[in-house]
Chain A
Amino acid sequence: MTEREKILGRIREALTLSAPMPGKHHSPAAHSSVNGHAVASASDWLPLVGEAFESQITTFRTCSTELKTDFQLFDSHEHLTSKLQEISRAESWQQIASHGGNLALPAAESLGLPILRTDSPYDVVALEKCDVGITECDALVAQTGSVLVTSRSAGGRALSVLPPHHVVIARREQLLADLPSAFALLQKKYASNYPSFISFITGPSRTGDIERILVLGAHGPKKLTVLCF
């Protein structure tokens, strides 16, 4: 017998006794079926998010401020690009990294700097030396101020975490109300073949491991900039 069979056997043996349902510790168990639960209503319990774009963008902005994410909204890709150029000058970027996408690449190219592309195999040591990783995303989540990325939408696993600054280029249509909508989007977009990596990025890298005092840039990016148009 394999360990797998042994473990599954012990589980089945253990489950012949039924356990009380949560919140009803002293009453006999009701029996529910596999997949019989309903988290579809999670939106009703989680922090409230308005339905209008304006209110969602306000929520995203409020979260960003608290998280120390630099969030900016523009009325065109052109304005966004000029902001990116301004940041590049201010931080004296020398080496940048990005991936081939309709939003990220043109913006990165406008900086006139050498670009390391991570959408095909690349040199990790070179990526580590880059000043910034410029990526796209799957969605922005108003409720939590999160940026949803996958290995497919954001140039792999490392681009959005290894360089000290992560810049996200997003469209306003990508703003979603809450986490349940984000998971619904993932399912709709990828259910037949999920990317091997999915991440909700919420603020720059942070730690409170020393006296519970917040420090940014523990291992990942010290800065997270979300540019949306």
Chain B
Amino acid sequence: MTENHVAQPPPAAVSPQTALPVMLEIAEVRRENATAKTLLISLESAEDQPGLILETFTPGQFVMVWVPRMDEKPYALSYLEEGRAGITVHRRGPFSKRLCEMRAGERIGLRGAYGRGFWDVGERAPGASAAIIGGGCGMAVLAPLAERLPEATLVQGARSADGLFFTDRFPGQVIFTDDGSAGRHGLPTEWLVEAVADGAVEAVYTCGPEPMMARVVELCRGAGLPCQASIERYMKCGIGVCGQCDCDGRRVCVEGPVFSGEELARMPSFGRRRRDKTGRQIPVE
């Protein structure tokens, strides 16, 4: 990555004219760890329903996932392969619990992919000098990026061994756990501190708990390294109209969810405050 493209990230995603969910069949359900599952969704019947644009998908983009008569929430695509798209769901509330109970053959609605994903991850990608740092279910956002940057170092942090994601999918990754039950004992940011000191990294991509990302962004700024982070805010429309996902004047659904370290440095709410469903500001946990 050059300084130039970090200073000028691409503009907000262009929206399609329709934004309606497309009902698709779940082809396969995979257990990823103690609390997370991946739903692999068949794209077979997508063509005759408008609302899905996956040809231009970039890692970090998300879909709005609709469970009729329940709710609709954003999930990054964790897989995009021939004829199938995947979302990886960490069970934490009623909606994600419902998704985790779904079985192959059931249908869910998807619209998107929306938002600005990670950029310059094609031919100009930094390759072996890049680091991808994930924490918890932030790994779901980073997985397609890690596939596009196979030479990059993938560093994953989890609370414990039973919360790790994609250990078989990415066998070469560096693992950290809070309790030391797998990999190194500690936080993935410790790896970054060492790598920065060694001069071994030239670009960083991250997604995970916001305090972790805030630390990554801070370390990168200190070292003058370009950095991109994918953040999460409560979303409603997903298409830039309602304002619900505002983060200091930026609509996370279209101008994010991926932001450069420089952009995040100008967003005082990053790492500190988010908004709940009413729009009230609350601390990030």
A, B: real partners: no
Mark A residues whose CB is within 8 Å of B: none
